[in-house]
Chains A and B, each alone.
Chain A
């Protein structure tokens, strides 16, 4: 589904990713862990196409297409979803407007029929219920005045509605209490645990991985994947710390 080969990038002329390779197949859940400042968010943003995140070497293919040849909105229409570590607030634009325009933009790009108001509301209600988010929240402006946990739930509602092929979730577990973590974990499983989909979880902690069980765990440090393993690697990291495991 996603193949990243020897990827390097720069932000403001500063090299962050330094030859990162990673391959994700349909049906798999991968977790990337790593110390603060390792480049985890940079990887997510670079794959999403955030302006200012210049690719300086290597490449990535997503579902057979050159990822970096596509504009950010085209990547989304092709099935990529980016869960933000810090979801953006958009005053004056309601979640429902935001999501309906997003979904219909994607559908237009794929040559599918747009959803009308009724069809869209039905879908939004279903996904909000799945994530335990009050429909009233979706009438409010995007992320404005939402608590940290509400923002993360709202992002998962977005994911449910947009129904991507690959979700890259950057610290979706931060800001969640234990109950919310359970709900969000179950939501991710319900939406993404399918043979034709894949997930890349970026996290600091083992705790999300108790709910969304990874098939592979990678350690990102200094802009590269320095170690890969199975789910036991996450437990080892939790127990012994990055320094010990990477030594």
Chain B
């Protein structure tokens, strides 16, 4: 294996990382390859729920051939450092859909880093990320979209929303666009918010204890991420893991 230099903070895709944890894992193994053949569709998911204190990186390289479709669901909640990267290339008329949730507390550093390349015309991609961060956790989404010359009629969106439970938690959201075609639609939105105080008082006025009320609001906040999962059993597993993590946080 060739030695690659350790990443530094100057590199955009490592800017918010836990570089000490990264060093302990270096060099990283080759990414997991996912190839979706022309016209096929594929469903993948990752539940990153590594044990306490563990550092882990999951790298994926995804190629979706013409007219193919890939749906990816990620729940990133475990370990002291949990990084998930998806490097995606889309063929003509291909579609990529990422739905991800990051839920972190303590001193966790959790990140989802994507690089989506629309290499051919008529490709579409959608990325929806919801983060809930408490205590001293850092949650980051870095998503670059590259639209190649000639990849006309590309349609890509990124929707990133974070909820901070404590002032000491940090959310980073960095959508980046590099567009070399002219007939392209790219939409992105990123918000950081706190739990709705009015809603919390309304719930309290009906007798709900604060922990139950917060958990219910947070469940509603992340619920949409798993809505469209094809496999009911996997969906239930991810939802249950998300709820358990939320309950531990509030």
Partners in one complex: yes
A residues touching B (Cβ–Cβ < 8 Å)?
48-51, 71-73, 75-77, 81-82, 84, 87-93, 97-99, 101-103, 105-106, 108-109, 142, 158, 162
Verify B216–A93 contact, CB threshold 8 A.
Answer: yes
Also in contact, A76 and B220, with CB within 8 A (given A101-B212, A105-B212): no
Also in contact, A73 and B209, with CB within 8 A (given A49-B204, A90-B220, A97-B216): yes
10 examples of A-B residue contacts, CB within 8 angstroms: A73-B204, A73-B210, A73-B213, A77-B207, A82-B205, A84-B202, A92-B219, A98-B216, A101-B212, A101-B213
Verify B208–A73 contact, CB threshold 8 A.
Answer: yes
Once the chains are docked, how many angstroms separate the CA of A51 from the CA of B209?
15
Contacts of A76 in B (CB 8 A): 204-207
Also in contact, A101 and B220, with CB within 8 A (given A51-B201, A84-B202): no
Closest 10 pairs between A and B when the two form their complex, measured CB to CB: A92-B220, A76-B207, A106-B207, A102-B206, A72-B204, A88-B202, A73-B204, A105-B208, A102-B207, A102-B208
Q: Which of B197, B201, B207, B224 contacts A103 (CB 8 A)?
A: B207
B residues touching A (Cβ–Cβ < 8 Å)?
196-199, 201-210, 212-213, 216-217, 219-221, 223-224
Once the chains are docked, how many angstroms separate the CA of A83 from the CA of B223?
29
Contacts of A88 in B (CB 8 A): 198-199, 201-202
Contacts of B213 in A (CB 8 A): 73, 101
With both chains docked as a complex, state the minimum distance between the C-beta of B103 and any C-beta of chain A, in angstroms: 16
Once the chains are docked, how many angstroms separate the CA of A28 from the CA of B164?
45
With both chains docked as a complex, state the minimum distance between the C-beta of B195 and any C-beta of chain A, in angstroms: 11
Contacts of A102 in B (CB 8 A): 203, 206-208
With both chains docked as a complex, state the minimum distance between the C-beta of A49 and any C-beta of chain B, in angstroms: 7
Contacts of A109 in B (CB 8 A): 207, 209
Once the chains are docked, how many angstroms separate the CA of A98 from the CA of B207?
10
Q: Taking CB as reference atom, which chain A residue is nearest B220?
A: A92
Q: Taking CB as reference atom, which chain B residue is nearest A110?
A: B207
Verify B202–A99 contact, CB threshold 8 A.
Answer: no
Also in contact, A93 and B207, with CB within 8 A (given A50-B201, A84-B202, A87-B202): no
Once the chains are docked, how many angstroms separate the CA of A20 from the CA of B76?
53
Contacts of B196 in A (CB 8 A): 90
Residue from the set A81, A101, A106 with the largest chain B CB neighbour count within 10 Å:
A101
Contacts of A51 in B (CB 8 A): 197, 201
Verify B207–A162 contact, CB threshold 8 A.
Answer: yes
Residue from the set B197, B208, B224 with the largest chain A CB neighbour count within 10 Å:
B208
Contacts of B224 in A (CB 8 A): 92
